Chain A
């Protein structure tokens, strides 16, 4: 990995323009090789010092107010004359020193004016490239790229690029990662995508309103402060509880609505693409073959409508970070999308396969036992739990890492046992309170199924 920038040679091709411009450019630090980011970027960077100033002002409002009154207009103007150009120059220079370069094997990102940072991202390690369009960026017509690499927790970002440039670069990176020749990859263009599903805003609103957590949030944030007010009669105490309660309720319900608004799922050769968000649009790609398990959630009030929420556990993304595949959809649509993520998996068949344990399981878990169910199909291990919100976990046989049987003294006296199936994303599916003999047979049979499942599984490729 040779570092071209540090070779110290000045730009061989002098920039066009008059002698003044050339002289100016000579004054600047050597521009790193590669393509610069979008010229809007410095404005984002200029936020940092201004925000720091504002935060300092907010931190002690009184003092800032006194200063402001004491400061004469002249001083204020002078301050602005110094701060604004300084921020502009800083922003410009940091933009000047940032660039990216796509080579055959790597994406190199260089940043930093004083403290230089060079990130070399190996293309064959790229798991997903996502296009982000926050609200302000959408207004200006730029987009950021988020690069997800295997085995790294932090995601590298490339912000901002022109919208077209971002989409083209994403396509090029994915084509290169798939092993295309660099010359053809540059013009590969976005892989064609077919719309699979779009969640209508009306459905989305209804889904949020029908969730138990929504009512808990609403009632909690209204009743608890009300009771407090009735008891103490203090407005201050009321506000002290009401404001955080409302903000929490808002974040859990409306925050979710904002980020999951207008959810669309497209099928493309590099995986399922998800676009979502009301204000800022987020774009994510789910690489097929990395999905380790699927969780299907059915809150109590959704069940009558046949709605489900589908979440994924993806390798290398942690237990919870795998994310949502569908915020809300009816069963048939969910089954169709799910079949793309896990080929050969039939949601209806999986749900039908799940059966309750023996009746004596009620002694093991008095009420909950009704919710526990388990079954297997040719493709997946199915485990269900949850009385109010029904959760069904599907683990493809080929993704099973280990199988465990557990039996405590009480369960042994009832001749019951539980089987746990671990997947590669760190999640576990539990088939609880099964008949002990059945559990033993299940343990060994699951090991066999997983072995044959692995043999017949397609080669591990996230780009096909």
Chain B
């Protein structure tokens, strides 16, 4: 069902990379799930439109290419978005990066975490996925990692909680 998470080790030293540790990507099942959710309906809509137009309006059948093109584009875009999701555990903080067009990179110090939450919906469970959400005292912190395998989510949660306790700081 799930393949091993891809890891891209980057050398430390540049400003872009964490000084230590390595980036970890998210599970490929996330890509499969999103492709099913986005491309599936588009392909079906294209097929339905093609059938209806073929029966009624002849040459207009080409319009059915629109949803299919969209599906093809989404296929690639979702892959790029999936590859953009990555996180790195450093000695004192967690880095989360995602987004292709709108890039977001969030740094949350372990000592600031107030709550670590692991959620998994029915579809996510079907694909063996879980989502990890970090809460700090600032409500504006949007730190979430999607597409973790449940064991990895649990490991991360336990590690973050443990690190949070040892590095805990007040407000």
Interface residues of A, Cβ cutoff 8 Å to B: 290, 292, 315-316, 398-409, 412, 417, 420, 422-428, 437, 440-441, 443-444, 446-447, 450-451, 454, 457, 460
Closest to B139 in A: A426
Taking CB atoms, residues of chain B closer than 8 Å to A451 are: 92-93, 109, 111
Cα-based distance from A447 to B112 in the complex (angstroms): 11
Answer whether A440 and B141 are a contact pair too, CB < 8 Å, given A402-B109, A403-B106: no
Cα-based distance from A85 to B142 in the complex (angstroms): 60
Per-residue A-contact encoding for B104-115, CB less than 8 Å = 1, 0 else = 111111011000
Cα-based distance from A420 to B137 in the complex (angstroms): 15
Taking CB atoms, residues of chain A closer than 8 Å to B102 are: 406-409
Answer whether A404 and B104 are a contact pair too, CB < 8 Å, given A424-B138, A451-B92: yes
Q: Are B92 and A401 in contact (CB under 8 A)?
A: no
Closest to A407 in B: B103
Answer whether A405 and B103 are a contact pair too, CB < 8 Å, given A315-B171, A450-B109: yes
Closest to B168 in A: A454
Q: Which of A316, A428, A437 contacts B140 (CB 8 A)?
A: A428
Interface majority SS on B: helix, strand, loop or mixed?
loop
Q: Which of B16, B104, B112 contacts A401 (CB 8 A)?
A: B112
Per-residue A-contact encoding for B10-49, CB less than 8 Å = 1, 0 else = 0000011011000000000000000000000000000000
Cα-based distance from A420 to B142 in the complex (angstroms): 11
Closest to B106 in A: A404
Q: Are A402 and B15 in contact (CB under 8 A)?
A: no
Taking CB atoms, residues of chain A closer than 8 Å to B139 are: 426
Q: Are A405 and B93 in contact (CB under 8 A)?
A: no
Q: Are A402 and B106 in contact (CB under 8 A)?
A: yes
Q: Are B171 and A460 in contact (CB under 8 A)?
A: yes
Cα-based distance from A331 to B102 in the complex (angstroms): 39
Q: Are B138 and A406 in contact (CB under 8 A)?
A: no
Cα-based distance from A315 to B169 in the complex (angstroms): 14
25 A-B interface contacts by CB (under 8 A)? A316-B171, A401-B137, A401-B141, A402-B136, A402-B141, A403-B106, A403-B107, A404-B105, A406-B104, A407-B104, A408-B102, A409-B101, A409-B102, A424-B136, A424-B138, A424-B171, A426-B138, A426-B140, A427-B138, A428-B138, A437-B15, A440-B15, A444-B18, A451-B93, A460-B171
